[in-house]
Amino acid sequence: MEHNAGKHRFLRNILVRVLLFGVLIIVLRFAYVVTITGESCDRGDFCFFSLPEDINLLIPSVGTGAASASNVVRSNSVDLSGGDLYTSKDWIKAVQFYSSIFQDLITEGYLASTSKSLCVESASGQDVFTLKEIGVEDSVGIFKKASKPLVIKGEGHRIPFDNNTFDFIFSGGGAINKSPRPVAFAAEIARTLRPEGFVVVHVSVNDTYSLNSFLDLFRSFKLVKDHDIEGYDFAIPDFREIVLKKERDFVLGHGPKEGDNKCLVPAHKRDLVRLAEPLILEEPLKPWITLKRNIKKVKYLPSMADISFKNRYVYIDVGARSYGSSIGSWFKKQYPKQNHTFDVYAIEADKTFHEQYKLKKRITLLPYAAWVRNETLSFEINGDPGKKEVTEKGRGMGRIQLVKASLGGKSDGEVDEIEGFDFADWLKNTVEERDFVVMKMDVEGTEFDLIPRLFETGAICLIDEIFLECHYSRWQRCCPGQRSSKYEKTYGQCLDLFSSLRDSGVLVHQWW
């Protein structure tokens, strides 16, 4: 009997301990859901009762300038479906973040309870929800997929509202960084915002070049404030908050106006020049080796700055020769494009190379000679000393000169008449200030005519980066101790050309 009684007491103790352990687990789970995560207990996970439908969920302030009464998010204030989303930890954290942001904007006078407000690219609508909860009732969001009642269908580059509709527009989460059409994005904001209205953008900018490129998108706006802010989640990085005020109607410019030829390279471009690789100050004895090796030291602009806020990406090869000469062999393979697609213009007067460009996509061939005005020119092909130029691969470089000058002279090479065009004028009519423009120039000495013309017309300010081969009477590889007789300029004159470009704030590299 004692043996059986002892056995029963042992089993009873085991059962009591199991029950106590189970109760402890349930209590801990309940405490975690309600206290630690800040969630209500209507999720069905280890909860035994639901909170009343009209209960207020208190969300403490995480920033300055927010009154405690304004941090109460009422679950019944907006008719929302999908309750799990609106009581989730991520939702509440986002609402806390936006509540702090918007309360500060109200305190500073950029947002008011009467402001008709739009949140652009609002995927889940937390920002819209927060605006309504702090008293900005007339608020709506847009996203490519609607999430009613907070968010309707629309996109940043195609906002479905009339001109001058809103008093306040907000774009969070670095949406404009992700937009494939930042210029259209900014233009739509400018179109739908009323004069004197404010736009607040959370954008990722890490350098002065990208910041100024961003501000160039909003030329009808005045910069009011910008400062760095911390994101609210590891998936939401730190941003710069930029506040802009609309001053006039938005007009999309198209380069410098005719007659307005002067341009001043801005400071943020000059900063990049100071970071560039140094120029080779001493004339190289073996330029075919020194200059070619120097290419490896080049600091490309996209490796120093973010180029995301540009309207279009353009590469212009002046003196392109064959496709594989520089476009296919260098630009396509080596130039850091930051995943952007470039429109390519190949300017080549030598008809020998024209046929191969016909089948190349996104490449526009200009079968003329880049020059300082529109006129007929003499185009002469001369081979290097010691070489017999008979094939396309080994074809000599072409030089241009006025037809009148060539008629009285003698030439040992092939001479054709070609059409020259005003390169600077073409550039001003082809690209815009908001485009990112890279240029390579190899024009057999004509650079001493073209570069001054670019400055004279102001077209130089349209170019972000130049790769320039300067031609001078250099030492010859074929003939030790002899200089080339093809060019009259000296290395010192070339160095002066490079220095003058950099002193003017133009990012130029010595090319080969």
- Asked if 213 contacts 203 with a C-beta cutoff of 8 angstroms, the reply is no
Q: How confident is the model at residue 425 (pLDDT cuts 50, 70, 90)?
A: very high
Could you report the per-residue pLDDT of 28-66, keeping only the tens digit for each? 665 554 444 444 444 444 343 333 344 343 344 333 333
**Residue with the larger pLDDT of the pair 403 and 16:** 16
The C-alpha atoms of residue 176 and residue 93 are separated, in whole angstroms, by 22
Residues 322 and 466 in one domain: yes
Full residue range of the structural domain in which residue 435 is found: 267-385+396-404+412-510
Residue 457: the pLDDT is: 95
For range 175-202, the mean pLDDT: 94
Share of the chain above pLDDT 90, in %: 56
Q: Can you give the pTM of this predicted structure? A: 0.76
| Cα–chain center distance at 496 | 33
Q: What is the pLDDT of residues 113-155, one digit of tens each?
A: 999 999 999 998 999 999 999 999 999 999 999 998 999 999 9
Q: What is the mean pLDDT of residues 403-424?
A: 68
**Does a structural domain hold residue 18?**
no
Q: Sorting pLDDT into bands at 50, 70 and 90, what band is 479?
A: confident
Rounded to whole angstroms, the Cα distance separating 436 from 75 reads 48
- The rounded percent of the chain whose pLDDT value lies above 70 is 75
Q: How many CB atoms lie within 10 A of CB 280?
A: 17
- Taking residue 219's Cβ as centre, other Cβ atoms within 10 Å add up to 16
Report the domain count for the chain. Answer: 2
What 3-state class would DSSP assign to 136? Answer: coil
What value does the mean pLDDT take over residues 255-280?
Answer: 77
Residue 240 bridge partners (DSSP): 203, 228
Pair 280, 200 in one domain: no
* pLDDT beyond 70 at 219: yes
Tokens of 4: 């059986």
Residues 377, 285 share a domain: yes
Q: Both tokens of residue 95?
A: 């609402």
- How far from the centroid of its chain's Cα atoms is residue 52's Cα? 49
| pLDDT band, residue 68 (cuts 50/70/90) | very low
CA distance 443 to 423: 12
CA dist., res. 191 & res. 480, Å (int)? 66
pLDDT band with cut points at 50, 70 and 90 for residue 235? low
| CATH number assigned to the domain comprising residue 318 | 3.40.50
| 392: amino acid identity, one letter | E
**Residue 312, domain member (yes or no):** yes
Q: Are residues 278 and 161 in the same domain?
A: no
